[in-house]
């Protein structure tokens, strides 16, 4: 959440169409190129503020593989030297030139943004209406929970996906998509969360973007078929990793990050990595700030 502009839809149409045309020329690759490329056949239900679905029908999108390695960095000077299949980077803070450079090296880029909270430092913050926002996120200054039922909120998220396309992102990592389990001050429920998360997945796929499910561990079984991969924070810490078989059983990768500093200990980390290997999960040990101060990989 600590790393976590709305462009008009009309302005993004040309970028979306161009990105799709380029993607159509792509193909699969080895592990370091990150997964495969597939053609989307499902229709997406788009709001009036989203790109007209007829403009982006059946785009080609990349999908990661269960064997793909990864790096996650949202703050600090970016280290692009890791020999991994994909990078997860901040949508707003990462320039297109960085994304292009990584892709020239054969990497895939997943772009992070918060889909369930407003962040008052983001360039599109003023697009949110007061009625869109609920309680402050505990421990995260400047963030407030969003009413994910709001058509305005959904329009903003659609614009963010358009930005991701224009920057060259291969996929997206929308955070805070389990608001209903928190004290949001909003009438959110499990059903409203499922509806919103499926909206995000459909909107991403309509743009040729892969999408990961961030946490939301209580709805893994319901949502695994709609998402291309999962990103989890601390499922080993909270004994929640078993549910991710809903993804791995479908050949969809699970990327896990653990923040507990005990895993920095080389005598303790092998136990964590053995568990990750048994569950076919790609696990990293990183600082909570996600600033690349240190990095330990189980791969």
C-alpha to C-alpha distance for 180 and 217, rounded to whole angstroms: 12
- pLDDT value at residue 34: 58
Digit-coded pLDDT (tens) for 209-237: 999 999 999 999 999 999 999 999 999 99
Q: Is the per-residue pLDDT at 12 higher than 60?
A: no
- pLDDT value at residue 254: 99
Please state the pTM of the whole predicted model. Answer: 0.83
Q: Is the per-residue pLDDT at 55 higher than 70?
A: no
For residues 258-287, average pLDDT: 98
- pLDDT value at residue 90: 99
- pLDDT value at residue 217: 98
Q: Which fold has domain 9-297?
A: TIM Barrel (3.20.20)
Q: Is the per-residue pLDDT at 91 higher than 80?
A: yes
For the chain, domain boundaries: 9-297
Digit-coded pLDDT (tens) for 274-295: 999 999 999 999 999 999 999 9
For residues 250-274, average pLDDT: 98
Q: Is the per-residue pLDDT at 49 higher than 60?
A: no
- pLDDT value at residue 153: 99
Determine if residue 106 is left, alpha or beta; phi over 0 gives left, psi from -120 to 50 gives alpha, anything else beta: left
């Amino acid at each position: 959440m600590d790393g976590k502009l709305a462009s008009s839809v009309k302005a993004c149409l040309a970028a979306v169409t161009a990105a799709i045309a380029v993607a159509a020329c792509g193909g699969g690759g080895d592990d370091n190129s990150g997964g495969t490329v597939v053609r989307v056949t499902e229709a997406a239900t788009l709001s009036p503020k989203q790109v007209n679905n007829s403009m982006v029908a059946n785009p080609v999108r990349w999908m990661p593989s269960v064997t793909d390695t990864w790096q996650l960095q949202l703050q600090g000077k970016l280290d692009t030297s890791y020999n991994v299949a994909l990078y997860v980077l901040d949508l707003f803070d990462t320039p297109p030139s960085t994304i292009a450079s990584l892709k020239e090296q054969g990497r895939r880029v997943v772009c992070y943004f918060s889909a369930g909270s407003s962040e008052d430092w983001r360039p599109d913050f003023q697009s949110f209406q007061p009625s869109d926002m609920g309680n402050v996120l505990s421990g995260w200054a400047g963030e407030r929970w969003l009413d994910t039922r709001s058509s305005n909120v959904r329009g903003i998220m659609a614009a963010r996906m358009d930005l991701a396309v224009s920057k060259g992102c291969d996929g997206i990592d929308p955070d805070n998509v389990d608001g209903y389990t928190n004290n949001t001050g909003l009438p959110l429920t499990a059903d409203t969360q499922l509806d919103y998360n499926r909206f995000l997945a459909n909107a991403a796929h309509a743009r040729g973007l892969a999408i990961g499910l961030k946490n939301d561990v209580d709805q893994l079984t319901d949502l695994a078929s709609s998402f291309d991969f999962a990103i989890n924070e601390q499922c080993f810490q909270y004994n929640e990793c078993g549910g991710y078989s809903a993804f791995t059983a479908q050949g969809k990768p699970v990327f896990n990050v653990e923040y507990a500093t005990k895993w920095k200990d080389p005598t303790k980390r092998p136990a964590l990595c053995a568990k990750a290997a048994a569950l076919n999960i790609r696990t990293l040990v990183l600082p909570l700030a996600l600033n690349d101060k240190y990095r330990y990989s189980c791969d």
